[in-house]
Structure 1
């Protein structure tokens, strides 16, 4: 009997040591980690019948490493064969790209490394115009996209031991533009939003709007100007914690929050401005539609 007990104690001790070893390897030798669940989705657009991108890998950029050339950044997903996606197939739906453990902390950017258009006659990144009777693919130029990667600006926070769903939300009307001189079509990273949600949403609605501030032109005349750096949060009616957060588009202050059906209060945080709440105004989100919140007007701290 003593031999049996000793054997079980030995086995238990061995299992305990193995578990300790596994925990140590999971957290990178003491570094706390969380899991990023990355998906891709798209806003509706009627100018294109296809917007096709070929993705090689996506990396997360910790706060403070925004100028990195990409080497050593935490890898979220890599594809042995580039992942080909027609983003227009994903209107109000998300497609999971991958999941990975990354160091816990704040992130201000994602790097989207894309396959290069090596053959202009057979592009792997391209658009097809909705009014093109011949439906010919037009190459989509991705400056630096196949080298250091497209810099997709957007804040998200990874908590230790938790799974954080993050979506790349394409807006074709802003992401795909035609150059004035060359008439070439280019891919702009400012047309992609980084949205952090409470859970991965297979289908959803959205609330859209623009964050603005009064700006004095001259002689006391004011106009509304977009806020280029701000975070928008959606809080369910009667709740206290946001279920989704997104940075505004730095070019025009617009945002789009992916949300399940429900009624929401919008909060905005931005350096140099008072925290904003839309209450008592609330916004109802219905699956498969965009709810327009209009303009959210911030007050400057210096003006108080």
Structure 2
């Protein structure tokens, strides 16, 4: 009888230890709970067009969801409307979403949904810009960024206009097949400086061999390149060929997260 009691006690002890061990494992594998906030800004790389107008009506996201289902959450964009992408260069951007609360975890995708009022101006003539997929389901941008609890994230959506606008064969239709680069402002740096003389249109391009970001100097000669990942860049300063001024190349420009590298005044000569 004593032997039977001892056996039951041993079995009970084993079951208790096993139960608590499984519980501990489960708690360790449970994703962290909490919320994060998201802001979204829209900007553009320079393009060889006079104007590119896009009609922004919504911004949506998928968080912690890699399925093909239509489980998108609207971020309730605050600044919807028609924007000229070519005005959103040189560090200028528009805030589309401001501090929207989402569950922490993985931000899988961002969708930029466009309306019907999209157009491009070439040689003074306005053409409709066809964006059927953007109007129906939105422009999908793969992100896959980890969102930590109680952290605010600002995502920069950077259009590449030259890569995004496609003339469809002999039909003459002009389509928007967007190439958009998404970066996190909190995990990137910036580059700034100024050009003289200021009356020469000048493009500034920075590349680390993987990513390339460019902008034009504004009417005062100033420029800002944002959304640069940390690392060493080569900066190319390209004046308008009609000016006769040579291209300048600046090597080994260091970009750090959360700071702006200042190049100072660049003399075109």
Same fold by TM-score, threshold 0.5 exceeded? yes
Q: Aligned equivalents of 1:127 and 1:96: distance in 2? A: 22
Q: Aligned equivalents of 1:94 and 1:193: distance in 2? A: 14
Q: What is the CA-CA distance between 1:155 and the residue it aligns to? A: 3.4
State yes or no: 1:283 paired with 2:250: no
Q: Aligned equivalents of 1:83 and 1:91: distance in 2? A: 18
Alignment of 1:116-155 (within 5 A): 116=116, 124-129=117-122, 132=123, 135-155=124-144
User: Taking structure 1 as reference, are residues 260 and 55 closer, same or farther at Cα in structure 2, changes over 3 Å only?
Assistant: closer
Instruction: With the length of structure 1 as denominator, give the TM-score of the two structures.
Output: 0.53
- Which residue of the partner structure matches residue 103 of structure 1? 103
| Alignment length (residue pairs) | 188
State yes or no: 1:196 paired with 2:184: yes
Cα deviations across residues 160-199 of structure 1 (Å, max 9, x unaligned)?
A: 111101110011111111112423111113x111111217
Q: Aligned equivalents of 1:39 and 1:194: distance in 2? A: 10
- Which residue of the partner structure matches residue 49 of structure 1? 50
Greater C-alpha radius of gyration: 2
User: Taking structure 1 as reference, are residues 284 and 33 closer, same or farther at Cα in structure 2, changes over 3 Å only?
Assistant: same
State yes or no: 1:59 paired with 2:52: no
Q: Name structure 1 gaps, 5 residues minimum.
A: 1-29, 117-123, 212-253, 267-280, 290-304
Higher helix share: 2
User: Taking structure 1 as reference, are residues 88 and 288 closer, same or farther at Cα in structure 2, changes over 3 Å only?
Assistant: farther
User: Taking structure 1 as reference, are residues 53 and 200 closer, same or farther at Cα in structure 2, changes over 3 Å only?
Assistant: farther
| 1:176–1:187 CA contact under 8 A, matched in 2 | yes
Q: What is the CA-CA distance between 1:55 and the residue it aligns to? A: 0.8
Q: What is the CA-CA distance between 1:42 and the residue it aligns to? A: 1.0
| 1:263–1:283 CA contact under 8 A, matched in 2 | no
- Which residue of the partner structure matches residue 73 of structure 2? 74
User: Taking structure 1 as reference, are residues 138 and 44 closer, same or farther at Cα in structure 2, changes over 3 Å only?
Assistant: same
Q: 1:84 aligns with which of 63, 82, 101?
A: 82
Q: Name structure 2 gaps, 5 residues minimum.
A: 1-31, 194-204, 215-224, 234-250, 256-260, 265-269
Cα deviations across residues 42-90 of structure 1 (Å, max 9, x unaligned)?
A: 1112x21111101110111235436233xx42322335x8421111111
Alignment RMSD (CA, Å): 3.5
User: Taking structure 1 as reference, are residues 265 and 68 closer, same or farther at Cα in structure 2, changes over 3 Å only?
Assistant: farther
